[in-house]
Structure 1
Amino acid sequence: MATEALIERILATGDEPSTSVIDTLHELVNDATIDASTAPKGVAEAAGLVGLSTHTLRYYEQQGLVRPARNASGYREYTAFDLRRLVFLTRMRLSGMTMHDLKRYIALIEQGASTIPERRRIMLDQRDRIKRQIRELTLALETTEYKLRAYDGHPEG
């Protein structure tokens, strides 16, 4: 699902007190557009579904972040698993996670359950970075709002 559509859907659920954003995100990542019975997608269709360019999709492959199978004709086929991983990668990149951290995280996933404590640490660190970004953006928004209020009164500056 494209980032804009994801954000709109999450913001729409923000008014519903019984629905958490995390539950909504989980539903979106696992919704009917990316369920286990979803037929494999080609490069262009997969890129469109998750809101990436085909160039970015191929870059993620080159970096070892996603490894789609190939069909009998040699074309890449992205399974529901691959698509869900791409959604995750997209959200983490949007939040500022570095490629180095993403590669480390995916390598840990592929090593199995014994790496869960380290994966959790990576996610805790990422959560801290995101919270800091939110605080910084909130300050930037407040500064912008201040300037807009000042311009409504037309003072200099």
Structure 2
Amino acid sequence: MSALKDRLRADLTTAIKGRDEVRSSTLRMVLSAVTNAEVAGKVARELSDEEVVSVLASEAKKRREAAVAFEDGHRPEMAAKERAEAEVLTDYLPAQLSLEEIADLVTSAIAQTGAAEEGMRAMGKVMGILTPQTKGRADGAAVAAEVRRQLG
């Protein structure tokens, strides 16, 4: 069984006992998303820690996007709730890469593929190398923007 999933369950129990409403509702939501991912497809299976991190990253991204949408819709109280949930989820995600670290990874990937002279046509090659390195540690859109900046 996934150690991260066990940690989420244990933290849910602690949050419920401590009457931490935001944390307990967020952990319930993410455990539900993990269960949904496990039963998706033809055969139910147990997710690995890496797959659980992927679900967590996806849920955190949804919260960030929802917070922006609520801000745009002049609903600051709902935006604050979404941001609080995203903050809870970041406790379980690997440390995020800084913009400088992303730039360094992109530079080395471009050098590794020899994509500098190909320009934007080589974006797929570069992203193919970067995606496994940054999965769960950086937003894909930020990585793609840096690749475009360096190739363009």
TM (normalized to structure 2)? 0.30
Higher helix share: 2
Of structures 1 and 2, the larger Rg is shown by: 1
